[in-house]
Every structure is written in structure tokens, then in C-alpha cells.
Amino acid sequence: MEQKKLGLIGKNISYSFSKNYFENKFRKLFLNNHTYTIFDLNDIAEVDRIFNDANLLGLNVTIPFKEKIIPYLDELSDEAEKIGAINTVLIKDNIKKGFNTDAFGFEKTLLLHKKDHHRAALVLGNGGAAKAVKYILEKHDIPYKTVSRNTELNFGNITKEIVAENTLIIQCTPVGTFPNVAECLEFPFAGLTSGHLIIDLIYNPEYSSFIKKSAENGAKTVNGFYMLEQQAEKAWEIWNVQKK
């Protein structure tokens, strides 16, 4: 029986959810010929070696390679091209095509929790995940401001008044991810109210320091686990529907 290999590329990703998630799926579907491997890379150039495996069906891509992998691909989906970040690769007929299923997962999460008064957003971070988030906010006509280390509005000058005006806040940085669970962004939590919705894309730990501090200030909080499940299911669909 021909081996069908999937995997995840990223850096310092031993904590990843994906391996267990997909290996459980293989067991449930009796797919004994499928494997899922964690490829912890120091440099994106190492991906060429992974792509040389003739049995490789596809990959997930995570921090810090969601943008850096693009030059190594042959095609991008329309959505991935607009977003400028990739988290799923399909290999079919020797063509490596990039997709973004983060956008799908975030949209599902957003629509599940958003209320009418969540009309303006702050996006914390400016990497690949933030790009998918901004794409969905634009799709739903929700104006947003980006807050990162090197944007005009940054973690040094954001005020509690700005936080108070933007009732939807999406935390897209890896700060506070396992094992560095005590870390937290510098942020004026005092600007939060019970009308705020905080979506932190971190899923490990379940309650990041950012979520805990937000909840202490009365905000509704959501972690990244549902988004993660939804983007993983979309990736599975891409690997299994589009390959045929």
C-alpha cells in the first residue's frame, strides 16, 4: 500500500496540536497508510528536502514560515494570494499549491461570537496569522487598526481610550504560547469593558495570560482552539478533495 505523508513545518513546534489531531483522524478512518510528521526547521530553505519526498501529499505551515514559504511554491489559491500568507500546501502532479485555511477558521470563530456592537477592531500583531484575520475583517466591513512593535500604533503608545473605542480585539502574536506561558503583551487592559470581545489565537495554554487579564477586566474571551480545528478540517478537505 502506497504511503501518504503529511506534516507540519515550523520552528520550535514540539507543542503542536496538528500531529495528534491528524493521527486520530487516520485511526478513525482506518487510514493505515497515512503518516503525519513534525518538521522543526531552522531555516525555510530546508523545505526543499521535505518536498523531495515522492510520497508527500501536503503540509501545514506555521510560525515563522507562513510568508517565507511562498517563493518555494508553484501556485497560490486566490485567497492565499490576497492574504499573502500560507498555512496549507497541497502537492498534486508535482505542483505545490499554497492555501490559507486560517482565514476560514477565523471567520467561523468570529461569526460564532461577534455581536452587532463589535464594529471596530484592533489586530495585535502583523505576521501571517494577522494577515488572515485582516482579510476576514475586510470581508465583513469591520474597520481595524494594527498594533505591533513597528507600526504607527504600537505597544508603546496604545492607550486605554483607544482600547475602549475598539470593542473587538484579536491577539495574533505568539507571546504567551507554551512553554512561555507567563509572558504577556504590554497592553492597557484597563480600557476593556464587558462589551469587548477578545479573540486570542493561542490555544496552548487554553487560557493565555492575555485572556486571563482580559477576563479580569470584564471582557468576553475566546481562545484559538475552535479556529484551529476548523482550519485543520479545511486543510483535510483540500488534501482529499482537490487531489482527486
What's residue 132's pLDDT? 97
Q: Are residues 39 and 61 in the same domain?
A: yes
Which of the listed residues 100, 121, 151 is the one where a domain comes to its end?
Answer: 100
How many domains does the chain fold into? 2
What's residue 17's pLDDT? 86
Q: Are residues 135 and 171 in the same domain?
A: yes
- 111: cell is 461569526
Q: Write out pLDDT tens, residues 84-142.
A: 999 999 999 999 999 999 999 999 999 999 999 999 999 999 999 999 999 999 999 99
Q: Are residues 111 and 221 in the same domain?
A: yes
Q: Are residues 19 and 118 in the same domain?
A: no
Task: Quote the CA–CA distance of 183 and 87 in Å, as a whole number.
Answer: 25
What's residue 5's pLDDT? 97
> 25 CB contacts (<8 Å, ≥6 apart)?
31, 236
Whole domain around residue 51: which residue ranges? Answer: 4-100
Whether 66 sits among the annotated catalytic residues: the reply is yes
Q: Are residues 78 and 141 in the same domain?
A: no
244 pLDDT higher than 60: no
Catalytic residue, from 4, 19, 66, 96: name it: 66
Q: Write out pLDDT tens, residues 55-76.
A: 999 999 998 999 999 999 999 9
Task: Quote the CA–CA distance of 106 and 223 in Å, as a whole number.
Answer: 11
Q: Are residues 47 and 141 in the same domain?
A: no
Within its chain, how far is the Cα of 227 from the centroid?
8
Give 37's pLDDT tier (boundaries 50, 70, 90). Answer: very high
State which amino acid sits at residue 76. Answer: L
Indicate the pTM of the whole model.
Answer: 0.93
What mean pLDDT, rounded, does the chain reach?
Answer: 95
> Residue 237: inside a domain, yes or no?
no
Q: Are residues 67 and 165 in the same domain?
A: no
Give 12's pLDDT tier (boundaries 50, 70, 90). Answer: confident
Q: Are residues 23 and 113 in the same domain?
A: no
Q: Are residues 85 and 121 in the same domain?
A: no
Q: Are residues 95 and 115 in the same domain?
A: no
Q: Are residues 129 and 185 in the same domain?
A: yes
Within its chain, how far is the Cα of 81 from the centroid?
16
Q: Are residues 21 and 128 in the same domain?
A: no
